[in-house]
Chains A and B, each alone.
Chain A
Amino acid sequence: MSAFLAMGGYGFYVWTAFAIFFIVLLIDTLAPLARRRRHLREIRARIARQANRRRPGTPARNESNA
């Protein structure tokens, strides 16, 4: 096992390279998911604001992003 981790003396280079690969792709995976969640939260907040402004009983339509 320690021979495997040592990688014939190149352990530092090999494992750092693999760590960079996984960390960069992990960030790349999580970033859009977090952003999508934030967008949905903002859209819900907007819907709530617009519902408060609307006269009671009027249906919702395509509305501006205000």
Chain B
Amino acid sequence: MANWVPLWLHRLGSPPTFYRFAGAVYPWALGLAFVLGAIALYGGLVVAPADYQQGDAYRIIFIHVPSAWMSLFIYGVMTLAAFIALVWRIKLAETVAMASAPIGAAFTAITLATGSLWGKPMWGTWWTWDARLTSELVLLFIYLGIIGLCHAFEDRRQGARAAAFLVLVGAVNVPIVHFSVNWWNTLHQGATIRLLGPSHMAASMVWPLLTMMGATKFYYIASLFSRVRTELLAAEGGKAWVRELAVAGVAGGKA
């Protein structure tokens, strides 16, 4: 690779180094996610006032919208990792892409379930074949397809490469989910928080939402690193560094 890539970045790509790095970051990321999540819940459930139209039912927004953002954000990270994995054959990129899929699937499932629980009292139905809802359901199926394809191969690197292609193909669905509320006539409301221009929401409701967004980002880092560590152990089971780690784990009580 080019000379300008810092040496530490090169080193980080090596499994034993990344294993240690991820292990050091993991408790901090999980802790920050927990603290930010608790603050956001307090802000969303206690401090923020009830909505003038939806009453207290709108409070589902504080988990529904951050989860929906994560379902798309994780797909973006996964696409980037899959692209790197296919072009440069970096083992760590394959692992990151494949470890992202179950977390993305979890957030997509949460989005669909909480959206359904919000839709019942507000729209009068659990489910409707609306553009936003349908494209999000397709996103869940794509995530599940990626996980399934990855595990369908005896050789894990072959499975990861095949699934990485599916990741790139499935990426067309991400803009469809995002713009579905603008492109089609839909029951689902448009974007509440906007990067450009004013948000359609009171500040007392915006800050818990953004705090929860931060919490889910940190949660993703924690869960991703935990999964990558697990995958690296399984993939490198015969290597000396894993064997030393496993043996030291017995002596030290943990690994």
Contacts and interface: CB of A to CB of B under 8 A. Distances in A.
B89 to A, nearest CB: 21
B48 interface: no
A31 B226 CA distance: 10
B129 to A, nearest CB: 21
A14 B57 contact: yes
B239 to A, nearest CB: 6
A58 B226 CA distance: 35
Given A13-B117, A14-B60, A29-B226, A44 B246 contact: yes
B230 A28 contact: no
Interface in A1-26: 4, 7-10, 13-14, 16-18, 20-21, 24-25
Interface string A15-52: 01110110011011101110110011011101100000
A65 B229 contact: no
B57 A39 contact: no
A7 B59 contact: yes
Given A24-B109, A28-B223, A18 B63 contact: yes
Interface stretch (B75-83, B162-170, B247-255): B247-255
A47 B247 contact: yes
A60 B244 CA distance: 11
Given A9-B55, A10-B55, A39-B233, A17 B106 contact: no
B124 to A, nearest CB: 12
Given A24-B110, A39-B233, A17 B117 contact: yes
B238 A40 contact: no
Contact of B113 (A8, A20, A64): A20
B43 interface: no
B234 interface: yes
A25 B219 contact: yes
- Interface residues of B, dominant DSSP: helix
A24 B223 contact: no
A64 to B, nearest CB: 6
Contact of A36 (B46, B109, B219, B229): B229
B135 interface: no
B233 A40 contact: yes
A59 to B, nearest CB: 11
A62 B240 contact: yes
Given A20-B110, A28-B106, A47-B247, 20 more contacts: A7-B56, A8-B50, A9-B55, A10-B56, A17-B113, A17-B114, A18-B63, A21-B63, A21-B67, A29-B30, A32-B229, A32-B230, A39-B230, A39-B237, A40-B249, A47-B246, A60-B243, A62-B240, A64-B238, A65-B237
Interface of A: 4, 7-10, 13-14, 16-18, 20-21, 24-25, 27-29, 31-33, 35-36, 39-40, 42-44, 46-47, 60-65
Interface of B: 30, 41, 45-46, 50, 55-57, 59-60, 63-64, 67, 102-103, 106, 109-110, 113-114, 117-118, 120-121, 219, 222-223, 226-227, 229-230, 233-234, 237-240, 242-243, 245-247, 249-250, 255
